[in-house]
Chain A
Amino acid sequence: MSVQSAVLRPTRYRDMTARHKEWVLGYAMLVPAFTFIIGLIAYPAAWAMYLSFTDKVIGQQETFVGFQNYVWLSQWPNFGRMIWNTALLAVVGVALKAFIGMTMALALNEQFFGRTVIRALLFLPWTVPAFVAGLIWRWMYDDQNGLFNWALMGMGLISEPVSWLGDIRYAMGAVMSVVVWKGFPFFAIAFLAGMQGIPSEQYEAAEVDGASAWQRFLYITLPGLRHVMLITCMLSLIWTANTFDLVFIMTRGGPSNATEVFTMLIYDQGIRNGRIGEASTAAMMAMPIFAGLIIILTHYLQDKDEERA
């Protein structure tokens, strides 16, 4: 065997140094995670981005159209309204969820009879599938046979049914109420868990120093929960901005376009009309906002990890 061929011979695993073996093993163990990330996240995202530059229609060969879809979408008659509705639902929805969640968490952090049962019940709205929640609330808001109109008319507070989902003044509020109802338990549970991590000595010391309940909340609870609050709000902001099922079931974006959100356009163009290129464009246009939120969240979580280390 020549020197050259001996050098070029492929290295066998048992001939490797311990350090090299560790590298190989390390990379091998990363393969499943990489496979799933590439297969289920990177590839579909890249494909969606490509499709957004095409005129792809279901069952037909696509052609590259450059930024045509983006121009088309920016001229969509309800484009501004959709962005406003999406932002309103996300920002106000998250703020309300955080407020109610905090209130619930503070109450449930106290000792009282039946606390465990109430904590379990608190989770209920979070566990109800959105589809079921949408149908139940749609019925409650229904103008013909709905619970709210029945109750209000029975009490003599209104003389004719109110169109909660069909009146531009109430529709967004009705949808928002369900989004908040479905989402606040997540906040409450997260805040409650965060409160368990705040040392009780801090409260005791503050109490000895004469701090009021409000001051204890302001100077101990809130700072102690700031990491949990940020992460919870960020995640919820992303989820709420992506709300589709509740809006679809309750109002389908109506009345007129009063509750139309971004995801409705994606559904209408992609599923109803089979225009995958245009639907992908709508999804891509929302992506920078979500990517920004995710980057902030990841950055923050990394900082927190380093802080702990």
Chain B
Amino acid sequence: MPTKTMGTVLTRRGMARRTLLKTVGVGLGAISLAPVISACGMIPGMGGDKMTIWTDATFAPPSDDYQTEEINKWAKSKNIEVEITRETGDNVRQKLQAAIESKQLPDVTQVDDGRFTAFYPAGIFTDHSALFAEFGKQWGGWYKPGERIVTRDGKQWMLPYSIDSNLILYRKDILEAGGVKEAPKTWDELYDVAKKLQTPPNIYGVGFQFSKAGTDAESTFGLMMLSYGASIVKEDGKLGTVKSPEMLAFLTRIKSSWDMGVYPPGVTGWDNAANNTSLQDEKTIFIHNPASPLVWFRTNKPDMLPKIGVSAVPAGPKGQFNTAYIRDGFAILNTGNQKRMDLSKELMRHLYSKDVYRKWIELAFPSPAVAGMEDMEIWKNPQRKGFLDAAKTGILQGHPGPPSQAYSEFTNRQPLISAAARMAVEGWTAEQALDELAKTAEDVFSKYK
């Protein structure tokens, strides 16, 4: 009989049923409690004094290492424990999403303007106005783009640390050898020079991605769109007239540039690093990017560095635009633990102190968010000065409206790259691409009415 067998086995082998049941009970209890116990370290008010800091891994590792070193130095001076994680911006974004839902926020997180705009409605950011005013006074004011991004309802909700911009990086040596003395001022000039000077398959003219894996090109095409007088939104940030003659002219320009054969054939599959690589491997003449390739050249091909030119984004028939966005910034999050929030403010004072901030800017590639560093030697280098100028005057995502969650979601869908890819890969006409662009815009913005 099974009953007898089971009972006999359990009893004879030394574990009575009662003991077994107790063991099972204790085991289950421990399993149930394990997550609770481990979560206690992260729940506000239950985790002691250990501070959690989430930071971004950038394209300039020396600046990351320096920042980590300074945070550790500060923690040691305060005799507190800190846990610093450093991951790509995308990973930090995903971790933040989970942290928001589980209400297990870090004390401090690095934030760019995309993350700030996306998570602001979740109410996780604390009022940073006092610190913002303090650091502004200390550094002779903030650059306007950063200030505009972090200010909502007259208060500041995070602290910008660096402002970045995407400019045209080009092979100055090839232009000079081809008798072109200045960087192209308009899109038409840029494509004509690219066509004239390229020597495919060794060197192609233009390295803009026509692929959703390459987010840089969404900004490139966005600026081109504005320079053709087209826009997605109105000045109040609401959806504007997408189907306009200007938008059609812009899309037609993209299509005609594709037909010119100035792009490497692989741009339809390029990821976000491929445009950097193409310049670094000396395979394209023009790319639109932040300064990260310059950092790469400095370390890996110093001889090539002087051959790289930096210029403003070309103008279209209706104007010229450079972009500005917060690449690095800090936010003290609403964890409910006042002691750690106060400590976080002290950490911010350390990171914004004169020596630490200036040294970090020297090692990193973007421009500072504050005005008081224009005396630094690095800005005498014309390659970097262009980025500083753009940081002061660049337009924000969502132009001509203010930065908004709706526009952020719209660009996350990479609709301009999609339109370009439809025309390049699938042979769509500009009119077809315009139809789809308008539908995407309507779909996204209808959720925010």
Residues of chain A having any CB pair with chain B under 8 Å: 13, 18-19, 21-22, 24-25, 28-29, 31-32, 35, 55, 57-60, 72, 77, 142-145, 159-168, 171, 251-256, 258, 268, 271-275
Contacts and interface: CB of A to CB of B under 8 A. Distances in A.
Contacts of B440: 77
A258 B266 contact: no
Interface residues of B, number: 57
B274 to A, nearest CB: 7
Contact of A32 (B20, B31, B201): B31
Nearest to B272: A252
Contacts of A272: 412
B34 interface: no
Given A161-B266, A254-B212, A144 B418 contact: no
A251 B212 CA distance: 9
Interface in B398-444: 409, 412-413, 418, 421-422, 425-426, 436, 439-440, 443
Contact of B269 (A13, A22, A254, A274): A254
A159 B3 CA distance: 78
A144 B270 CA distance: 10
A21 B17 contact: yes
| Residue with the highest number of chain A CB atoms closer than 10 Å, among B18, B25, B426 | B426
Contacts of A163: 264-266, 268-269
Contacts, number: 138
A144 B6 CA distance: 68
Interface stretch (B118-126, B151-159, B176-184, B239-247): B118-126
Interface stretch (B93-101, B133-141, B297-305, B309-317): B93-101
Given A252-B271, A268-B412, A144 B426 contact: no
B97 A143 contact: no
B200 interface: yes
Interface of B: 3-4, 6-7, 17-18, 20-21, 24-25, 27-28, 31-32, 93-94, 97, 100-101, 118-119, 121-124, 200-201, 210-213, 264-271, 274, 277-278, 281, 283, 409, 412-413, 418, 421-422, 425-426, 436, 439-440, 443, 447
Contact of B412 (A60, A143, A255, A273): A273
Contacts of A251: 213, 269
Nearest to A143: B266
A84 B213 CA distance: 21
Contacts of B94: 271
Nearest to B213: A252
29 contacts: A18-B4, A18-B7, A22-B3, A22-B7, A25-B20, A31-B28, A58-B97, A58-B101, A58-B119, A59-B97, A59-B100, A72-B443, A77-B439, A144-B266, A160-B265, A164-B269, A167-B265, A167-B268, A167-B269, A253-B212, A254-B269, A254-B421, A254-B425, A255-B421, A255-B425, A256-B425, A268-B413, A271-B97, A273-B413
Given A21-B17, A142-B266, A273-B409, A252 B7 contact: no
A28 B271 CA distance: 53
A161 B201 contact: yes
Contacts of A60: 121-122
A59 B101 CA distance: 6
A80 B366 CA distance: 43
A274 B201 contact: no
Given A19-B3, A256-B425, A274-B118, 20 more contacts: A21-B17, A22-B3, A25-B17, A32-B24, A35-B31, A35-B32, A58-B101, A58-B118, A59-B121, A77-B440, A143-B266, A144-B266, A163-B264, A166-B265, A168-B425, A255-B268, A258-B425, A268-B412, A271-B93, A271-B94
| Residue with the highest number of chain B CB atoms closer than 10 Å, among A57, A59, A60, A160 | A59
A9 B272 CA distance: 72
Nearest to B423: A256
